[in-house]
């Protein structure tokens, strides 16, 4: 009697656990010591599109050759040898099982972002006989994080980088270019008579001009360059690996492009011009502030001498 | 200095613990070499009982040789409860890439920036070393522990580091097991600290006595 009672009790337990195993909103895979799949829960079936019956008894590597790497194997060994737990965090690995991601919050991920944990399952005498892998879908969290990072470094209106990000980057670039003495230039840009646009056509038109200007410039510079909104109608470009001559050329292209463009806002056709000051890092500039000041001085000169032009700061200007 | 007038573990218990650590760390190094090809030398561990409040200072004093450090921290829990800390000199991540990546097997999950790669390497080494040592101690004491994900803390990131320091509850006492580890053939060494939470000290005392009895 007592024996059947216990049997019955274990039967119920098994039923409960196997239901939880399939109901839980996480992937659970159980592997034996040779990495053959022993269990594959419904969540895994659902996202992998591989039915448990197809995968059970076969090596996980056969289905996911991306796991055939030293790191994964090393972690498997440390689980088997020490009863260690291993962690594959989304921050570092993005995912270990390439499952299709649903787009979240407009952030596009190629694959579902996953936090995965691997650990030991013990048999009798505490010996480690199996490995479990738990898979959590963290795509949504990763999307929030990406949004937050973006909001933190970008200007909400124009989509250019914000001033704070610019300051961080110029410090970094400054240090790097000092160390390796590679050329490095910046362009300070100021939209001419911007206040007039605002006063005549209203702030909405002004905002439209800022946004349009920003996308014109962004389309003109390289991927490695950085365009930031420095303040009001003032923008700044960081051009790594670029000397004064090339930077002036870029600025001249921008000047020309902006001068030629007609910005259509509602039924208005707006035209603007831009003044620009260019500076290349040279040994005389002991800090990034001095470099910024030089570009700003050049910009001031461009403004003073008629606007819609590019002035480069050259050492000969120093005495004037 | 309450722990001096009323020691939380007796000298004898301390000795047993020392012995267990010796065996455990010896086994851990052997297995690390044999199973994972990580050749590390662990010095004879030394045991200290400290107020938790004194730990940040202790760490700072122990690693004075390096001005910049990375700490891999990993909590473990169960009967045996505490954290493992692995303290590396700041540039170790880069050099450790050689220890792990055999034959230029670049990460095949996805390309990532070098900072992340270094962090990843530190975490993995931390996870393996802490796990190996804690696992072996737990095994000898007849228990099983669960681990939380490791994290890397750099003291050149002020915020991170001060949060980490603040996370120690100064009212607790801890048993601190300290060993110096060195990667063979590689000029990288650092500190491995295992801290036992106050909550598990009672259990630890019982486990130590049980361990002794099994030999008597």
Confidence class of residue B106 from pLDDT cuts 50, 70 and 90? very low
A106-120, A195-209, B177-191, range with the lowest pLDDT:
B177-191
- Shortest distance between the Cα of A282 and any Cα of chain B, in A, equals 29
Give the 3-state secondary structure of chain A: CHHHHHHHHHHHHHHHHHHHHHHCCCEEEEEECCCEEEEECHHHHHHHCCCHHHHCCCEHHHHCHHHCCHHHHHHHHHHHHHCCCEEECHHHHCCCCCCECCCECCECCCECCEEEEEEEEECHHHCEEEEEEEEEECHHHHHHHHHHHHHHHECCCCCCECHHHHHHHHHHHHHHHHHHCCCEEEEEEEECCHHHHHHHHCHHHHHHHHHHHHHHHHHHCCCCCEEEEEECCEEEEEEECCCHHHHHHHHHHHHHHHHHCCEEECCEEECCCEEEEEEECCCCCCCHHHHHHHHHHHHHHHHHCCCCCEEEECHHHHHC
- What is the Cα gyration radius of chain B? 17
- Residue A307, token pair as written in the block: 């606007």
* pLDDT recorded at residue B154: 76
* pLDDT recorded at residue A208: 94
The model's pTM: 0.74
* pLDDT recorded at residue A320: 44
- Shortest distance between the Cα of A66 and any Cα of chain B, in A, equals 7
Integer CA distances (angstroms), A273 to A176, A269, A302, B110, B160, in order: 33, 14, 12, 44, 46
Chain B residues with at least one Cβ partner in A under 8 Å: 28, 31, 35-36, 100-102, 105, 107-110, 112, 116, 119-120, 123-124, 127-128, 131-132, 135-136, 138-139, 144, 146-147, 149-150
**Residues from chain B contacting residue A66 (CB–CB below 8 Å):** 108-109
d(CA B104, CA B123): 19
Q: What is the per-residue pLDDT across B63-91, written as a single tens digit (0 to 9) for each?
A: 666 667 788 999 999 999 888 988 887 77
**pLDDT, mean of residues B117-138:** 87
Q: What is the per-residue pLDDT across B17-65, written as a single tens digit (0 to 9) for each?
A: 888 888 888 888 888 888 878 888 888 888 888 877 787 777 777 766 6
Q: What percent of chain A clears pLDDT 70, i.e. is strictly above it?
A: 96
Confidence class of residue B107 from pLDDT cuts 50, 70 and 90? very low
d(CA A107, CA B6): 59
DSSP E strand boundaries for A101-142: 114-122, 128-137
Q: Which residue of B has its CA nearest to A84?
A: B131
Q: What is the per-residue pLDDT across A17-27, written as a single tens digit (0 to 9) for each?
A: 999 999 999 99
**Residues from chain A contacting residue B108 (CB–CB below 8 Å):** 66, 68-69
β-pairing verdict for A310-313 and B46-51? unpaired
d(CA B157, CA A172): 16
> In this prediction, does ipTM exceed 0.85?
no
Q: What percent of chain A clears pLDDT 90, i.e. is strictly above it?
A: 68
Pick from A81, A95, A96: CB nearest B31: A81
**pLDDT, mean of residues A170-195:** 90
């Amino acid at each position: 009697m007592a024996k059947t009672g216990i049997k019955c009790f274990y039967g119920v337990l098994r039923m409960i656990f196997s239901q939880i195993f399939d109901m839980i909103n996480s992937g659970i895979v159980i592997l034996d010591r040779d990495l053959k799949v022993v269990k594959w829960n419904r969540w895994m079936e659902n996202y992998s599109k591989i039915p448990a019956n197809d995968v059970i008894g076969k090596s996980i590597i056969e289905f996911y050759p991306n796991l055939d790497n030293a790191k994964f194997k090393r972690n498997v060994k440390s689980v088997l040898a020490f009863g260690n737990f291993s962690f594959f965090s989304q921050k570092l690995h993005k995912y270990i099982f390439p499952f299709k991601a649903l787009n979240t919050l407009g952030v596009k991920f190629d694959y579902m972002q996953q936090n995965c944990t691997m650990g030991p399952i013990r048999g009798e005498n505490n010996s480690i006989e199996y490995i479990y892998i738990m898979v959590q879908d963290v795509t949504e969290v990763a999307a929030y994080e990406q949004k937050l990072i973006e909001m933190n470094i970008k200007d909400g209106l124009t989509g250019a980088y914000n001033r704070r990000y610019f300051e961080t980057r110029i410090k970094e670039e400054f240090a790097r270019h000092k160390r390796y003495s590679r050329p490095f230039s910046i362009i300070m840009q100021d939209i001419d008579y911007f206040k007039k646009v605002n006063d005549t056509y209203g702030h909405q038109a002004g905002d439209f001009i800022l946004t349009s200007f920003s996308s014109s410039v962004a389309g003109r510079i390289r991927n490695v360059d950085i365009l930031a909104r420095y303040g009001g109608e003032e923008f700044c470009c960081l051009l790594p690996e670029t000397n004064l001559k090339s930077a002036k050329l870029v600025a001249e292209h921008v000047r020309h492009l902006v001068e030629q463009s007609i910005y259509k806002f509602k039924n208005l056709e707006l035209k603007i011009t831009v003044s620009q000051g260019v500076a290349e890092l040279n040994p005389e500039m002991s800090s990034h502030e001095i470099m910024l000041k030089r570009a700003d001085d050049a910009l001031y000169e461009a403004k003073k001498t008629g606007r819609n032009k590019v002035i480069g700061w050259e050492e000969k200007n120093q005495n004037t | 200095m309450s722990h001096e007038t009323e020691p939380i573990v007796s000298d004898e218990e301390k000795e047993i613990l020392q012995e267990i650590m010796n065996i455990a760390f010896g086994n851990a190094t052997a297995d690390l070499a044999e199973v994972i090809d990580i050749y590390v030398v662990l010095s004879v561990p030394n045991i200290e009982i400290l107020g938790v409040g004194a730990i940040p200072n202790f760490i700072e004093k122990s690693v004075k040789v390096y001005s910049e450090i990375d700490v891999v921290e990993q909590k473990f829990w169960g009967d045996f409860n505490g954290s493992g800390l692995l303290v590396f000199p700041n540039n170790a991540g880069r050099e450790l890439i050689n220890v792990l990546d055999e034959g230029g097997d670049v990460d095949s999950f996805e390309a990532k920036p070098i900072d992340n790669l270094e962090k990843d390497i530190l975490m993995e080494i931390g996870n393996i070393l802490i796990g190996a040592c804690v696992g072996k101690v737990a095994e000898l004491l007849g228990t099983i522990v669960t681990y939380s994900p490791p994290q890397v803390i750099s003291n050149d990131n002020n915020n991170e580091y001060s949060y980490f320091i603040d996370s120690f509850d100064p009212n607790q006492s801890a048993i601190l097991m300290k060993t110096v580890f060195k990667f063979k053939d590689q000029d990288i060494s650092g500190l491995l600290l295992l801290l036992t939470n106050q909550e598990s000290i009672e259990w630890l005392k019982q486990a130590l006595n049980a361990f002794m009895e099994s030999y008597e």
